[in-house]
Amino acid sequence: MELFEPLFGSPALNELFAPRTQVQFLLNYEAALASAEAAAGLIPIAAAQSIAAHCRVELFDLEALAKATRLAGNPVIPLVKALALLVSADDTSAARHVHWGATSQDVLDTALVLQLRQVLDLATDGLGRLAQSLTALVEQHRGTVMIARTLLQHAQPTSFGLKAAGWLTAVRRAAARIAAVRQRALVLQFGGASGTLSGLGDAGLRVSEYLASRLGLLLPDLPWHTERDQLVEIGTTLGMLAGTLGKIAKDLSLLMQTEVAEAVESRRPGQGGSSAMPHKQNSVGCAVVIAASLRAPGLVATLLSAMGHEHERALGAWHVEWETLPELCRLVVGALGHLNEICASLSINTARMAANLELTSGLVYAADLAGALAPTLGAGSHAVVEELCHKARVRGESLQNMAAQDPRIVAALTREQLREVFTTAHHLAAANRLIDRALQK
């Protein structure tokens, strides 16, 4: 699917999961393993140095490795054989120590964790930039009144600053979840053939400690070959992030509709056009983010459904993760990049927001009117205002004019009190109190 990579992916993710990079991560594990075993006194230091010297991806035929993977079932088996041959050409005795005490899943799982660490780094950086853009929108538009929409209908006045503050707080929660999962899930995998490290005798735990240190990973209590919750937690965290990004993009896309026109996405030449209609200016960025948010749940569901690994090593369930997690990472980081581009240069049409607020001729103040009447009319205030709203629609008049002519309302409210009902001041004041809380965080 290389044609769509530039659209849905990102250059950093494409490089991170490219074959050369993936193989280098596998080799990094083998080099670190040899170094750890030398530090534990299990193999000669010279052997570890010889192994590390050959753990360079440019020394390997990746096409041949891919073909061998089809037969072997995973790339580690042919990679280890090729590495041993390379080392043997220079140091026959050192070749005997290649991959000593490890199993294929140790290498593949840890390499994936190392890649996921970089994914989380990219996501953290992207969320930081997005939070900056959203903070700027909140501060700039805390006084920009607009209509709130519930069930896609006009509800009551709010501010664009408060809407953006909602996005901002969601982004911050996403960043906090990523920070938390980093502290739990970036763990070494090293258990050997059956998860006991028996091949290393009583030195297994020492080698594990050295290996985790060299790779900069947490040392788990036990090997986790068939306990996948930590890895899947990264996937679910990314899935939730996709949902957060999708919510923001959905809101923005609705604000950009021709009939609404309250937001405008800046465009570069050739972006968002139509092959049939020269006038079209489609929101490509929002489309990609929404698409990612719709695809991510299925990938997360796949990871969750594959958690039931049997006994000490799984047949098939483990293999499910190899393409699913990278695809999820690609979509989420790619979507985050698109949303950052949108929010960094988003234009808000404040005049259109003000105009749209008046589309219903004051009906959006109906709840305020009912609240003002409640001390006098009690529970019946809602029915009175509902009746007035119906009449206003039928006659094509404003709700404020209808209210000013109704004897029940004239008896309950002064002219000044009625005028205050049909203003946005109290809505804006309430929104600003919430915005202050969001910004203080």
Mean pLDDT of 117-139: 98
Read off the pLDDT band of 281 (50, 70, 90). confident
Distance (Å, rounded) from C-alpha 345 to C-alpha 90?
A: 57
Mean pLDDT of 178-201: 96
Phi-psi region of 149 (alpha: psi -120 to 50; beta: other; left: phi over 0): beta
**Residue 323: closest CA among 117, 71, 19, 78:** 19
Read off the pLDDT band of 219 (50, 70, 90). very high
Q: Can you give the pLDDT at residue 428?
A: 96
Q: Can you give the pLDDT at residue 268?
A: 67
Pairing of strands 263-264, 347-348: antiparallel
Map out the domains of the chain as residue ranges. Answer: 1-101, 103-187+224-357+425-441, 363-421
Residue 1 reports pLDDT greater than 80: no
Class of domain 103-187+224-357+425-441: mainly alpha
Q: Can you give the pLDDT at residue 279?
A: 60
Share of the chain above pLDDT 90, in %: 92
- Token pair recorded at residue 379: 């529970």
Mean pLDDT of 266-294: 74
The residue ranges of DSSP E strands in 234-302, in sequence order, are 263-264
Residues annotated as catalytic (active site), given as ranges: 274, 313
Which fold is adopted by the domain 1-101?
Fumarase C; Chain B, domain 1 (1.10.275)
Residue 439 reports pLDDT greater than 60: yes
Mean pLDDT of 262-274: 71
Residue 274 reports pLDDT greater than 70: no
Q: Can you give the pLDDT at residue 74?
A: 97
Q: In this structure, how many other beta carbons lie within 10 angstroms of the beta carbon of residue 368?
A: 20
Residue 342 reports pLDDT greater than 80: yes
Distance (Å, rounded) from C-alpha 218 to C-alpha 334?
A: 28
- Collapse the DSSP code of 195 into the 3-class scheme (helix H, G, I; strand E, B; otherwise coil) and give the result: coil
Q: Can you give the pLDDT at residue 270?
A: 54
Mean pLDDT of 7-26: 93
Residue range 366-386, pLDDT digits in tens = 999 999 999 999 989 999 999
Mean pLDDT of 283-288: 90
